[in-house]
Amino acid sequence: KQALLRAAVKIGAEKWTHDGNGEVTTEEYTADGQALVDLICNCEVVGTSSPRAEFISMANPAAILVLLDELEAANELVELQRFKLERQAEDLHQAKSLESI
């Protein structure tokens, strides 16, 4: 998870697209007055569209960063719920101990 985070942060919040013919590129950007894209990879499958290119374009650094943020938030929620359940169990145990007195 940490290696994936470091790699995505290093690239930045780039979004990638695919052209349906197997090429995965960055979204268009402007440099020196020209509209440019950077080629990420070519997953061409002769005579058909490339499911690999579609997947790679969707697994871009921006998407990975969002998923990792969501995972972290979910993990924090799990820890909070675990803490609440532990407190409830302790309270219940104390209440039962008091009943037996």
Reported pTM = 0.75
Q: What is the rounded CA–CA span in Å between residue 39 and residue 97?
A: 68
In the chain, what are the domain boundaries? 2-75
Q: Which residue has the higher pLDDT, 44 or 33?
A: 33
Residue type, 69: D
Q: What is the mean pLDDT of residues 5-16?
A: 92
Task: Kindly indicate the confidence band of residue 21, based on its pLDDT and cuts at 50, 70 and 90.
Answer: confident
Average pLDDT, rounded, for the chain: 92
User: Which DSSP string corresponds to 43-73?
Assistant: --BTTB--HHHHHHHHT-HHHHHHHHHHHHH
pLDDT (0 to 100) of residue 55 = 95
Q: Is the pLDDT of residue 35 over 90?
A: yes
Residue type, 79: E
